[in-house]
Amino acid sequence: MTRRDKAYPADLVSLREVGLRDGLQLVKSWPSTDEKRAWLMREHAAGVRHFEVGSFLPASRMPQFADVAAVIDAVSELDGARSAALAMNERGAADALGTAVDEIVCVVSATEEHSQANMRRSRADAIELVRAIVRLRDEAGHKAVVNAGISMAFGCSIAGRVAPDEVMRLAEACLEAGADVVGVADTVGYAGPRQVARLARSMRDLVGDGRFVVHLHDTRGMGIANAAAALDAGCLILDGSLGGLGGCPFAPGATGNVVFEDLVFLCETKGFATAIDLAALAAARAIPERAMPGEHFCGGIARAGLPAADWRA
Amino acid sequence: MTRRDKAYPADLVSLREVGLRDGLQLVKSWPSTDEKRAWLMREHAAGVRHFEVGSFLPASRMPQFADVAAVIDAVSELDGARSAALAMNERGAADALGTAVDEIVCVVSATEEHSQANMRRSRADAIELVRAIVRLRDEAGHKAVVNAGISMAFGCSIAGRVAPDEVMRLAEACLEAGADVVGVADTVGYAGPRQVARLARSMRDLVGDGRFVVHLHDTRGMGIANAAAALDAGCLILDGSLGGLGGCPFAPGATGNVVFEDLVFLCETKGFATAIDLAALAAARAIPERAMPGEHFCGGIARAGLPAADWRA
């Protein structure tokens, strides 16, 4: 059984809750470690199993992730739960490998312009970093899955249009470099559902099944429609954040990730069982809402509640 | 050429902006007639052509629609623009036929329970009202299209689940009663995209082409995904409201209709040309925002702007 098989079933949709990572990327204040633990426990009790919980960066740069190792430990204590965290360089990967993290996430920009501006390295160097992290992981005999995501895969706030062929070339290069899982991210929320469907079909053809990640932002209101398109195209791993936490660095005031609760509702209405208790999940929002009173949490299910009629497909 | 052919092309998507009707259904204050005119003119200049602008009800019950005749006149002055307004009884229809309205909208509840609770008549009587309105229209030699919408078509806040066969039976009865156009409404925002796709396909089979209305609410965050599903199923007439104005009477605080601007963006990214200038449309929000400072306007395009990359399909 490969690392990927252990992490993601071949026949079920896996939903990754990235609120504790992407959701905290831009906030001015953030939950304490205890509040993060409570957030995880409540979501885990509701049935969530995949959590992206931070980034291995110097605490001086990203103090909201200074406790990432403790948060990974908290996930380890939850039955069946899996933690993921970003590593942006070899040092971050080495730190990650010193923890019980279940998934190390690397990012490769779809465009050379964004790669240089955002990560100060070429895309080729970013792929070499994926290779180096896989090698470090193997040398350490660590269990972690290496997940490589192509950011700006549906359009770039610097370079503009992104050719799907270019994204696929990079995804293939990540696999060749040893990544267990690859994904595509609509980092700035440019995509519409047709574009998502097309790239997701290409990804499915590349990967051989639906186990690739589609990471969507709801910046322009297309998040759930794009998730529906990804599901229809066979994608089995989708990201969202509780309450849609997580803005867009290039669109101040814009909404963030796909709302996780609404994503669960979408999946269930489409006949993809998630094993998540939606009412319990919506109730879990109380924790980040209390911990971050200045942040805006959105989402239809939390606002309106579940339908009075049977709504599961 | 039938009335329907004049109102809705057979090969293009028609988007109906219902903010001045459904959007004002629950508000505590509303725009003046001049502000309504300005709203229409700005949207018309952006390329919008279909406007639902009010309801023919006693002004004592719905004072926000007391000026419906004047607003219909305002639409008549805009090149190529079409007005629609609701008639809930024969008296309302007679009033409508005294104006230059282009479309009279009737509503039939999908469930007997909701029909009795909301309209104090049976569904059979509601269909007889459609027949009576068509007869009155014909006797008057009036140009108006008669549009009959099935409310609660995807689930009912009183009766719960709604059988699609029952909706189709009612839609067929409306056509048999002489309605030129029929539609289905997710009045309380219960639907997911699979359910919308299925009912839209049945409607397409019934009508013989895509000229039926799908009226969606974004109550649970599924509005745009449901619109995408309707478009994929061949639906050519969709409703939305500027800024998503229009709540849900059964879910206080819930968001309202599908955000019109985001619906335009969706259509364009999917390759359905709308001939609407999105930036100009988003700018038109300033009018209702100024006129109704207490209302909540939402929408991704208005918040984040258009993508920097080419985004049309």
CA of B131 vs chain A CAs: smallest distance (Å)? 31
Q: How far apart are CA A4 and CA A18, in angstroms?
A: 19
| pLDDT band with cut points at 50, 70 and 90 for residue A249 | low
Look-up: residue for tokens 């991704």? B300
B309 contacts A190? CB cut-off 8 A:
yes
Q: Within a 10 A sphere around the Cβ of B146, how many other Cβ atoms?
A: 28
**Which residues does residue B103 pair with via DSSP β-bridges, in sequence order?**
B84, B145
The shortest CB-CB distance from B262 to any of A156, A220, A268 is to A220
The shortest CB-CB distance from B300 to any of A155, A255, A300 is to A255
Q: How far apart are CA A47 and CA A278, in angstroms?
A: 9
The CA-based diameter of chain A, rounded to the nearest angstrom, is 54
Q: What residue spans define the domains of chain A?
A: 3-304
B191 contacts A160? CB cut-off 8 A:
no
Query: For residue A268, which residues of chain B lie inside 8 Å, CB to CB?
Result: 192
The CA-based diameter of chain B, rounded to the nearest angstrom, is 54
pLDDT value for B194: 98
Residues 6+ away with beta carbon under 8 Å from B218: A300, B189, B224, B244, B255, B256, B257, B258, B259, B298
Average pLDDT over all residues of chain A: 95
| Structure token digits, residue B30 | 């509303």
**Amino acid letter for position B271:** G
A307 contacts B190? CB cut-off 8 A:
yes
Q: What are phi and psi of A35, to 5 degrees?
A: -65, -35
Look-up: residue for tokens 């190529």? B80
Q: What's the per-residue H, E or C state across chain B?
A: CCHHHHHCCCCCCEEEECCCCHHHCCCCCCCCHHHHHHHHHHHHHHCCCEEEEEEECCCCCCHHHCCHHHHHHHHHCCCCCEEEEEECCHHHHHHHHCCCCCEEEEEEECCHHHHHHHHCCCHHHHHHHHHHHHHHHHHHCCCCEEEEEEECECEECCCECCCHHHHHHHHHHHHHCCCCEEEEECCCCCCCHHHHHHHHHHHHHHHCCCCCEEECECCCCCHHHHHHHHHHCCCCEEEEEHHHCCCCCCCCCCCCECEHHHHHHHHHHCCCCCCCCHHHHHHHCHHHHHHCCCCCCCCHHHHHCCCCCCCCC
pLDDT value for B90: 96
For testing contact with chain B, the best of A154, A303, A310, A312 (most B CBs within 10 A): A303
A194 contacts B307? CB cut-off 8 A:
no
Is the Cβ–Cβ distance between B218 and B257 less than 8 Å?
A: yes
Residues in chain A: 313
Helices and strands, number each (H, E), in chain A: 13, 8
Global ipTM: 0.95
Is the Cβ–Cβ distance between A23 and A241 less than 8 Å?
A: yes
A190 contacts B307? CB cut-off 8 A:
yes
Q: How far apart are CA B108 and CA B121, in angstroms?
A: 10
- pLDDT above 70 for A253: no
- pLDDT above 90 for A301: yes
- CA A92 from centre of chain: 18
- pLDDT above 80 for A248: no
Residues in chain B: 313
Residue of B nearest to A303 (CA): B254
Q: How far apart are CA A78 and CA B42, in angstroms?
A: 55
**Strand residue runs (E) in chain A:** 14-17, 50-56, 82-87, 103-109, 145-151, 181-186, 213-216, 237-240
Query: For residue B243, which residues of chain A lie inside 8 Å, CB to CB?
Result: none
CA of A256 vs chain B CAs: smallest distance (Å)? 10
Q: Which of A106, A156, A248, A267 is labelled catalytic? A: A248
Query: For residue B262, which residues of chain A lie inside 8 Å, CB to CB?
Result: 220-222
pLDDT, tens digit, 9 for 90 and up, residues A148-169: 999 999 999 999 999 999 999 9
Q: What are phi and psi of A265, to 5 degrees?
A: -60, -45
pLDDT value for B170: 98
Residue of A nearest to B197 (CA): A270
Query: For residue A188, which residues of chain B lie inside 8 Å, CB to CB?
Result: 307
Look-up: residue for tokens 């709540």? B247
Query: For residue B230, which residues of chain A lie inside 8 Å, CB to CB?
Result: none
CA of A1 vs chain B CAs: smallest distance (Å)? 34
Interface A-B: count of C-beta contacts within 8 A: 167
Residue of A nearest to B310 (CA): A161
Q: Is B267 a catalytic residue?
A: no
The shortest CB-CB distance from A192 to any of B188, B248, B269 is to B269
pLDDT, tens digit, 9 for 90 and up, residues A122-147: 999 999 999 999 999 999 999 999 99
CA of B300 vs chain A CAs: smallest distance (Å)? 4
pLDDT value for A309: 79
For testing contact with chain A, the best of B241, B264, B303 (most A CBs within 10 A): B303
For the segment A189-208, the average pLDDT, to the nearest whole number, is 97
- CA B276 from centre of chain: 17
pLDDT, tens digit, 9 for 90 and up, residues B92-116: 999 999 999 999 999 999 999 999 9
For testing contact with chain A, the best of B154, B195, B220, B241 (most A CBs within 10 A): B220
A303 contacts B254? CB cut-off 8 A:
yes
Region for B310 from its dihedrals, namely left if φ exceeds 0, alpha if ψ lies in -120 to 50, beta otherwise = beta
| Structure token digits, residue A16 | 């990754």
Is the Cβ–Cβ distance between A121 and A78 less than 8 Å?
A: no
- Looking at the whole model, is its pTM more than 0.80? yes
For testing contact with chain A, the best of B269, B270, B285 (most A CBs within 10 A): B269
Question: Which among A104, B170, B129, A268 is positioned nearest to B137, based on CA atoms?
Answer: B129
Choosing among 3.20.20.70, 3.40.1800.10, 2.60.40.10, 3.90.180.10, the CATH entry for B3-304 is: 3.20.20.70
User: Percent of chain A having pLDDT more than 90?
Assistant: 92
pLDDT value for B253: 67
For the segment A87-107, the average pLDDT, to the nearest whole number, is 97
Query: For residue A191, which residues of chain B lie inside 8 Å, CB to CB?
Result: 269
Q: How far apart are CA B213 and CA B218, in angstroms?
A: 16
Query: For residue A300, which residues of chain B lie inside 8 Å, CB to CB?
Result: 189, 218-222, 254-255
Residue of B nearest to A194 (CA): B270
Q: How far apart are CA B175 and CA B168, in angstroms?
A: 11
Residue of B nearest to A301 (CA): B220
Question: Which among A221, A231, A259 is positioned nearest to A243, based on CA atoms?
Answer: A259
For testing contact with chain B, the best of A224, A268, A274, A298 (most B CBs within 10 A): A224
- What is the C-alpha radius of gyration for chain A, rounded to an integer number of angstroms? 18
Q: How far apart are CA A116 and CA A118, in angstroms?
A: 6
A301 contacts B221? CB cut-off 8 A:
yes
| Structure token digits, residue A255 | 């909404």
pLDDT value for B310: 81
Is the Cβ–Cβ distance between B30 and B287 less than 8 Å?
A: no
Question: Which among A13, A57, A10 is positioned nearest to A268, based on CA atoms?
Answer: A13
pLDDT value for A302: 94
A222 contacts B269? CB cut-off 8 A:
yes
Residue of B nearest to A259 (CA): B221
Q: Would strands B14-17 and A82-87 be described as parallel, antiparallel, or unpaired?
A: unpaired
With a cut of 70, which residues of chain B have pLDDT below it?
A: 248-253
Is the Cβ–Cβ distance between A83 and A53 less than 8 Å?
A: yes
Cα dihedral A129, A245, A28, A115 sign: positive
- CA B169 from centre of chain: 21
For the segment A248-258, the average pLDDT, to the nearest whole number, is 76
Question: Which among A96, A49, A81, A58 is positioned nearest to A275, based on CA atoms?
Answer: A49
pLDDT value for A250: 66
Query: For residue B162, which residues of chain A lie inside 8 Å, CB to CB?
Result: 309
Q: How far apart are CA A96 and CA A86, in angstroms?
A: 8
Query: For residue B309, which residues of chain A lie inside 8 Å, CB to CB?
Result: 155-156, 159-162, 190
pLDDT, tens digit, 9 for 90 and up, residues A32-80: 999 999 999 999 999 999 999 999 998 999 999 999 999 999 999 999 9
A228 contacts B229? CB cut-off 8 A:
yes
